[in-house]
A and B are shown apart, each in its own frame.
Chain A
């Protein structure tokens, strides 16, 4: 059985029944440790630390959930339904793998952009994000990446000017 968060084999399996509702969690070593789960048969310092805080020493699973809608990735996997737009950000990595499988290996959108992306406020936000990325690339001495970002900023700026001219002439 695979980990709920990635494709590695799950080593921790927990089944809880609350008010008659069955919930299963399956995690690999990395995600179990990330989620703060005590690993069976491993007397690591993490386990000791966890046992200090958990009442009665019983291991508990704190599967990450979307801060916006409360959906866990295990639920997304189980029902093939995502809870809200923020889930795409919260679970970007594991959801990316799930989408890649569902979409014949595709990882990025190629097609019509959202109409609202072209609104000035959205453009300004995009420009700001690109400026941040440019500063980041320069500080990390990634000059090729910086040049690409600069071109994108210039293109965005040209589009903006073209639109202004069009609106003036119509």
Chain B
């Protein structure tokens, strides 16, 4: 069952993204649960032997618990920095987990819809990813994984605090729901700061494309709950999926409509310039590519590109957002490349996928 393997560097993860709900605004949904093992110090205080013990115990279980998804173990100590980079770019591990220098690993489902990080900030951090707004589905899968592991592991738990975590911000349910949102219209109408403030008032975190510590590029924002204590998992999910994210989706759609109705010429100019640049450029920086792809994505959502011959869908663009990243480019050419060479490879790849050049 288990086996070391290199992460894929090509196609998108295996769910039917084309029919995912609210994909025009919600790129993906994620549910993460943090757990620690009873009787052991947390990772920041654990000895090498204790980290090894956590890896051995959990790895064995993860490879043998009944699950719909076959899990593959990646030993992060043994893996190359390139492999770790690919896992970060595909949101299967955090940057912190990739860069840590302790005994650690990750179990990744073969379809890449879930992963379990071992010895990140907490002993166990399991997460389930879905395209579009599918938090209930992701939550159910994550809960099932938590229960399967909890039947075999004794979690660190106190009646008052619930599940204990290394950081006070995760104690209680240990659950973090997040949605990766594409908010180009709210940015263009200068409403994004109001959204950020409203999110802060609702105890939500707004981060960039790679989560904690990252800035927004291409108008992608990761919104997540910050409160994990004093509310049940169901209450957190109901509010987040039932109210908060739909409200943000509604605001973004309304802003898009305003731009379309009142500033159509400017909007078309932005979208077609992006299309022109992406379809002709010979060198592209990562930031530049993401900004242009973001404008193009907005154009696709508003059905502006139908007059072109190009058959560009949101999936095409979302896939490109993954493929233009440095680790994926290196995987594409199958050798180490300099940042300068990467710009050339990136531009070639984008032209090839967008216009078949």
A111→B228 CA distance, assembly (Å): 10
Which B residues touch A88, using CB under 8 A?
A: 158, 161, 164
CB distance from A32 to the nearest CB of B (A): 24
Contacts of A71 in B (CB 8 A): 45
Q: Does A19 contact B (CB under 8 A)?
A: no
Q: Which residue of chain B lies nearest to A105 when distances are taken between CB atoms in the complex?
A: B230
Instruction: Confirm or deny: B232 has a beta carbon within 8 angstroms of a beta carbon on chain A.
Output: yes
B163 touches A81 (CB 8 A): no
Residues of B close to A80: CB separation below 8 A? 167-169
Residues of chain A within 8 A of B230, CB atoms compared: 103-110
Q: Are B168 and A84 in contact (CB under 8 A)?
A: no
Q: Please count how many residues in chain B sit with their CB below 8 Å of the partner chain's CB atoms.
A: 43
Q: Output the least CB separation between A75 and chain B (Å).
A: 10
Known: A83-B45, A99-B171, A116-B154. A109 touches B162 (CB 8 A): yes
Instruction: Name the A residues within 8 Å of B167 (CB-CB).
Output: 80-82
> Would you call A62 an interface residue if the criterion is a C-beta within 8 Å of the partner chain's C-beta atoms?
no
Nearest B residue (CB) for A108: B160
The CA-CA distance from A139 to B299 in the complex, in Å, is 74
**Interface: A95 (CB within 8 A):** yes
Instruction: List B residues 36-61 near A (Cβ within 8 Å).
Output: 36, 38-42, 44-45
For A70, A84, A85, A109, the residue with the greatest tally of chain B CB atoms inside 10 Å of its CB is: A109
Out of B166, B227, B229, which one reaches A81, CB within 8 Å? B166
Q: How far is the CA of A98 from the CA of B171 in the complex (A)?
A: 12
Cβ of B250 within 8 Å of any chain A Cβ, yes or no, is no
Contacts of B233 in A (CB 8 A): 111-112
Q: How far is the CA of A111 from the CA of B157 in the complex (A)?
A: 12
A79 proximity list for chain B (CB < 8 A): 44
Complex interface residues of chain A between 106 and 154 (CB less than 8 A to chain B)? 106-117
CB neighbours of A89 from chain B (8 A): 158
- Complex: how many Å from CA A82 to CA B167? 6
B249, CB-defined interface residue at 8 Å: no
With a cutoff of 8 Å between Cβ atoms, the chain B residues found around residue A108 in the complex are 160-161, 229-230
CB–CB B161/A109 < 8 A = yes
Given the known inter-chain contacts A85-B38, A109-B162, please indicate yes or no for A95 contacting B168, CB distance below 8 A: yes
| B303 interfacial contact with A, CB 8 Å | no
Min CB gap B176→A, angstroms = 13
> 1/0 per position for B222-249, CB-CB distance to A under 8 A?
0000111111110100000000000000
Whether B227 and A85, one on each chain, are in contact in the complex, defined by CB atoms closer than 8 angstroms, is no
Q: Are A84 and B169 in contact (CB under 8 A)?
A: no
CB distance from A45 to the nearest CB of B (A): 38
Known contacts A82-B42, A83-B45, A102-B168: does B157 contact A116 (CB below 8 Å)? yes
List chain B residues, Cβ under 8 A from A70: 45
Q: Tell me if B159 counts as interface (CB < 8 A to partner A).
A: yes
Please tell me if the beta carbons of B164 and A110 are within 8 angstroms of each other in the complex. no
Is the CB of B172 closer than 8 A to any CB of chain A?
yes
In the complex, are the beta carbons of A104 and B227 less than 8 A apart? yes
In the complex, A35 has a CB within 8 A of chain B: no
Evaluate contact between A85 and B36: CB separation under 8 angstroms.
yes
Q: What 1/0 flags go to B165-206 for Cβ under 8 Å of A? A: 111110111010000000000000000000000000001000
Interface residues in B132-175 by Cβ distance below 8 A to A read 143, 147, 150-151, 154-169, 171-173, 175
Interface hits, A15-71 → B, CB 8 Å: 68-71
Question: Which of B40, B42, B168, B169 is most buried by chain A, counting CB atoms within 10 A of its CB?
Answer: B168
User: Are A109 and B159 interface neighbours, CB within 8 A?
Assistant: yes
A82–B232 Cα gap in the complex (Å)? 23
A85 and B173 contacting across the interface, CB-CB below 8 Å: no
Q: Compute how far the CA of A108 lies from the CA of B158 in the bound complex, rounded to whole angstroms.
A: 10
**B40 in contact with A84 (CB, 8 Å):** yes
Q: What is the bound-complex CA distance between A107 and B160, given in angstroms? A: 8
Give the distance in Å from the alpha carbon of A88 to the alpha carbon of B8 in the complex.
Answer: 41
Q: How far is the CA of A85 from the CA of B45 in the complex (A)?
A: 11
Q: Which residues of A contact B162 (CB under 8 A)?
A: 109, 111, 113-114
Contacts of A105 in B (CB 8 A): 230
Choice from B36, B42, B168, B172 contacting A111 with Cβ under 8 Å: B172
A-B contact pairs, 20 of them (CB 8 A): A79-B44, A81-B166, A82-B167, A83-B44, A83-B45, A84-B41, A85-B158, A89-B158, A99-B168, A103-B227, A104-B227, A108-B160, A108-B229, A110-B235, A111-B231, A112-B143, A112-B233, A113-B157, A114-B155, A117-B159
- Contacts A82-B166, A109-B159 known; 4 new A-B pairs at CB < 8 A: A71-B45, A108-B161, A109-B173, A115-B147
User: Which B residues are within 8 Å of any A CB, using their own CB?
Assistant: 36, 38-42, 44-45, 121, 143, 147, 150-151, 154-169, 171-173, 175, 203, 226-233, 235
- Residue ranges of A at the interface with B (Cβ–Cβ < 8 Å): 68-71, 79-85, 88-89, 95, 98-99, 102-117
What are the 7 closest A-B residue pairs judged by CB atoms, nearest first?
A106-B230, A109-B162, A115-B150, A114-B157, A84-B41, A106-B229, A103-B229
